[in-house]
């Protein structure tokens, strides 16, 4: 099933989430990732940097948007729709307990709005309030999420996908090898954080994800 | 902006912002600033809606700290931006000319820059020592306030350690209004503390 952005272009199936380790201003992993992105492979990048203040996020967002201009990447920022608008990004990703998506849509109709959800109930609320996509996880075991308990697993991913007509991105321990099991459960796309560390293997990993998602 | 001299009450993370706003408005505050650095976006939005509604009923203004997205979504009257927040020039593009933008400044340079960036008012301080916020620098004092009020044409809201005993003095030194947190939020009777502050403000032109 095809899903579109508010601009009526297809919603990419691959979502990269930033490391949370961006230093203010210089040499950040996010900017390296953006530079390395293959030109013709659409994806989304979510800026998720809880340690940065609004001014630093704005500066990072402006730099990211500049690099992204010649690529097929949609840049979203975590929670801060105002920074998305000010830096002319493509969208905002809302953690649970954010400002309701319909209230943001009313003042920012041009933004893609994604919502993190952890249950079919919150998926239903996000859908009723006009989200464009959902992010669900952690589906598989991942070191960064162990403190929150065991992973949700592919069955719960499937239950969530069946509870909504919105595109669902699976996150948490996703690899090119387990993407097919997520898509079989109805996932529209996949998201990753640490697997997309911008080193020598970045482009190969990105292409593996991309080709698996679009085959 | 409210007519001078006026009182702005800023919410305190240790006190329910809605009941504090209600009491402050009842006492006669002309501006409420919703400031909460740890609340979720959904919580801020709900508080913003409620406080904006109450401010309208009292003919006062509701200003949201830092979060322009929340201010837009809850249709508040404006935002207050610190030096680590979005620049006022960027905020103006999102808010248009009908919404108020305040900017915190603690030096003449920051105040002048805020005016250049298109702010509507300057929150200047801290004037006196204060326990409400951890500050990395000494109080600027009322003389600096006087200097800044001569350098910029924007209304200045003086903040930091302001009480009924020095409120009239800061108005006499060029402030259009004062902002307080704990002087109201931690008062035994917040409504009368607001009334007493307003009473002191009115004397600013006389003995300041």
**ipTM associated with this complex:** 0.94
Q: A97–B87: do the CB atoms touch at under 8 Å?
A: no
Question: For residue B30, is pLDDT > 80?
Answer: yes
Partner-chain residue, chosen from B67, B73, B87, that has the shortest CB–CB distance to A103: B73
By mean pLDDT, which of A2-11, A28-37, B177-186 is the weakest?
A2-11
CA–CA dist B52, B41 (Å, integer): 16
CA–CA dist A27, B53 (Å, integer): 45
For the entire predicted model, the pTM comes to: 0.95
Stronger pLDDT, A132 or A26, i.e. the higher one:
A132
Per-residue model confidence as pLDDT tens digits over B96-129: 999 999 999 999 999 999 999 999 999 999 999 9
Question: For residue A4, is pLDDT > 90?
Answer: no
Whether the CB-CB separation of B51 and B18 falls below 8 Å is answered with yes
Partner-chain residue, chosen from A82, A99, A107, that has the shortest CB–CB distance to B42: A99
Q: A55–B83: do the CB atoms touch at under 8 Å?
A: yes
Per-residue model confidence as pLDDT tens digits over A45-99: 999 999 999 999 999 999 999 999 889 999 999 999 999 999 999 999 999 999 9
Nearest to A125 by CA among A104, A116, A3: A116
Nearest to B129 by CA among B163, B160, B157, B173: B160
CA–CA dist A101, A94 (Å, integer): 8
Sheet strands (E) in chain B: 6-10, 31-34, 61-65, 78-81, 100-105, 121-125, 156-159, 177-180
Per-residue model confidence as pLDDT tens digits over A190-200: 999 989 988 88
Nearest to A113 by CA among A2, A11, A1, A215: A11
CA–CA dist B99, B134 (Å, integer): 29
**Could you say which residues from 143 to 172 on chain B have a Cβ atom under 8 Å away from some Cβ of chain A?**
none
Q: Is the peptide bond before B68 cis (omega within 30 degrees of 0)?
A: no
Tokens standing for residue A61: 């967002």
Angle ∠(B110,B114,B120) on CA atoms, nearest 5: 140
B202 touches chain A (CB under 8 A): no
Per-residue model confidence as pLDDT tens digits over A113-159: 999 999 999 999 999 999 999 999 999 998 877 887 889 999 999 99
Mutate to test the interface with B, among A77, A86, A92, A96 (most CBs of B within 10 A): A86
A65 touches chain B (CB under 8 A): no
Q: Determine how many CB atoms are found less than 10 A away from the CB of residue B75.
A: 16
The helix (run of H) or strand (run of E) holding residue A122 is helix A120-128
Q: A99–B69: do the CB atoms touch at under 8 Å?
A: yes
B91 touches chain A (CB under 8 A): yes
């Amino acid at each position: 099933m095809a899903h579109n952005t508010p601009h009526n272009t297809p919603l990419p199936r691959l979502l990269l989430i930033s490391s949370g380790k961006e230093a203010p201003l210089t040499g950040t992993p996010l900017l390296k990732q953006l530079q390395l992105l293959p030109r013709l492979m659409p994806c989304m990048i979510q800026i998720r940097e809880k340690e940065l203040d609004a001014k630093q996020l704005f500066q990072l967002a402006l730099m990211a948007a500049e690099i992204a201009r010649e690529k097929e990447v949609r840049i979203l920022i975590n929670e801060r729709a105002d920074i998305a608008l000010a830096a002319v990004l493509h969208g905002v990703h809302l953690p649970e307990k954010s400002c309701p998506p319909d209230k943001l849509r009313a003042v920012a109709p041009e933004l893609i709005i994604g919502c993190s959800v952890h249950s079919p109930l919150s998926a239903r609320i996000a859908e009723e309030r006009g989200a464009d996509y959902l992010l669900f996880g952690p589906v598989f075991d991942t070191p960064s999420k162990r403190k929150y308990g065991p992973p949700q697993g592919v069955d719960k991913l499937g239950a969530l996908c069946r509870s909504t007509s919105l595109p669902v991105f699976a996150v948490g321990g996703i690899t090119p090898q387990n993407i097919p099991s997520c898509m079989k459960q109805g996932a529209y796309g996949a998201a990753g954080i640490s697997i997309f560390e911008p080193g020598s293997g970045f482009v190969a990993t990105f292409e593996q994800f991309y080709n698996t998602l679009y085959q | 902006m409210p007519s001078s001299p006026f009182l702005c009450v800023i919410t305190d993370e240790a006190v329910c912002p809605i009941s504090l706003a209600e009491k402050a408005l009842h006492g006669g505050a002309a501006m409420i600033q919703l400031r909460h650095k740890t609340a979720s976006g959904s919580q801020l939005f709900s508080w913003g809606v409620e406080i904006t509604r109450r401010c309208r009923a009292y003919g006062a203004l509701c200003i949201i700290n830092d979060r322009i997205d929340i201010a837009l979504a809850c249709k508040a009257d404006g935002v207050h931006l610190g030096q680590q927040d979005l620049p006022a020039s960027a905020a103006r593009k999102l808010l248009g000319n009908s919404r108020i933008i305040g900017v915190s400044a603690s030096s003449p340079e920051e105040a002048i820059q805020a005016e250049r960036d298109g702010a509507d008012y300057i929150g200047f301080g801290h004037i006196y020592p204060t326990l409400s916020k951890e500050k990395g620098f000494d109080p600027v004092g009322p003389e600096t306030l006087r200097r800044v009020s001569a350098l910029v044409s924007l209304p200045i809201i003086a903040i930091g350690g302001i009480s009924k005993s020095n409120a009239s003095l800061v108005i006499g030194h060029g402030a259009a209004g004062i902002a307080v947190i704990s002087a109201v939020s931690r008062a035994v009777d917040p409504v009368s503390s607001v009334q007493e502050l307003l009473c002191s403000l009115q004397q600013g032109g006389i003995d300041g």
